[in-house]
């Protein structure tokens, strides 16, 4: 991995418009489980009448709100999670003026917690919750502390997390911003994602820059397209690469 990290450090040094596209693997070092690995969320046996995939669908939310929130609070919100070395390294690259945007499939808000400013959250955030009727805003703490289904203090309607559930479409404005950022990038780093969730994974086709870097522990459908492929822990790789770049 040493040689690959050196290659990545050189790419970072030469680049001035980097975009990072990340998935659940970015946050596993922050003790947030991913979805599709052998010990990920979707491999869990719930001993219930529904699967994890069904539990995070729009129809399940509508027809079984109590069970939805029980599952949601236990499995999708991690209030004590802290940014890891990957989040911190990306924030440092942004501060240097090298990284222009982060496009993330994660809903944990850890990029912003690390200091990143320009973050496109494709699947929303657990930190934003809105009343379905009057649109009043509520933080994650309000949802976690509510007994059963959280209700709006103003009108009594259900409060829904601003996360994209199965059967729901992505936000057009977020998609547009992400596409424009990727299209303008000279380097695209894809990390911690299996690239199987569409339409999010399809965004990489808009990249026409100089370097496509792919960092993931397991193979992906885009491996052959990558100029640099690193199959290792992204938190370790990014930390070492940014530190090495600073010494170049």
Indicate the domain borders of the chain.
2-32+83-123+167-247, 33-77
For residue 122, with 0-12 CB atoms within 10 Å meaning exposed, 13-18 middle and 19 or more buried, which class applies?
buried
Going residue by residue through the chain, which has 248 residues, state the pLDDT in tens, using 9 for 90 and above: 899 999 999 999 999 999 999 999 999 999 998 865 445 454 455 556 788 889 899 999 999 999 999 999 999 999 999 999 999 999 999 999 999 999 999 999 999 999 999 999 999 999 999 999 999 999 999 999 999 999 999 999 999 999 999 999 999 999 999 999 999 999 999 999 989 888 888 999 999 999 999 999 999 999 999 999 999 999 999 999 999 999 99
Whole-prediction pTM: 0.93
- Going by C-alpha positions, the residue among 175, 180, 225, 177 that lies closest to residue 200 is 175
- Of 111, 123, 127, 211, the catalytic one is 123
Residue 120 phi, psi (nearest 5): -100, 110
Q: Is 208 a catalytic residue?
A: no
CATH number corresponding to 2-32+83-123+167-247: 3.40.50.1220
């Amino acid at each position: 991995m040493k040689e690959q990290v050196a290659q990545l450090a050189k790419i970072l040094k030469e680049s001035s418009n980097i975009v990072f596209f990340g998935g659940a693997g970015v946050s596993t070092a922050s003790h947030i489980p991913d979805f599709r690995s052998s010990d990920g969320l979707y491999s869990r046996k719930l001993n219930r009448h529904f699967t994890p995939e069904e539990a995070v669908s729009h129809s399940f939310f509508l027809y079984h709100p109590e069970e939805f929130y029980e599952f949601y609070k236990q499995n999708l919100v991690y209030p004590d999670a802290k940014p890891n070395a990957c989040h911190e390294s990306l924030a440092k690259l942004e501060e240097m003026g090298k990284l222009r945007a982060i496009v993330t499939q994660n809903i944990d808000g850890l990029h912003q917690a690390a200091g990143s400013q320009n973050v496109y959250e494709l699947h929303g955030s657990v930190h934003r919750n809105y009343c379905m009727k009057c649109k009043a805003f509520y933080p994650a703490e309000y949802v976690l502390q509510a007994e059963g289904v959280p209700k709006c203090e103003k009108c009594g309607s259900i409060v829904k997390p601003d996360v994209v559930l199965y059967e729901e479409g992505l936000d057009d404005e977020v998609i547009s911003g992400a596409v424009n950022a990727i299209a303008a990038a000279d380097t695209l780093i894809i990390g911690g994602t299996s690239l199987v969730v569409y339409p999010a994974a399809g965004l990489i086709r808009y990249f026409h820059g100089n370097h496509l870097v792919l960092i993931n522990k397991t193979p992906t459908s885009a491996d052959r397209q990558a100029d640099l492929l690193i199959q290792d822990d992204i938190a370790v790789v990014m930390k070492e690469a940014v530190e090495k770049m600073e010494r170049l």
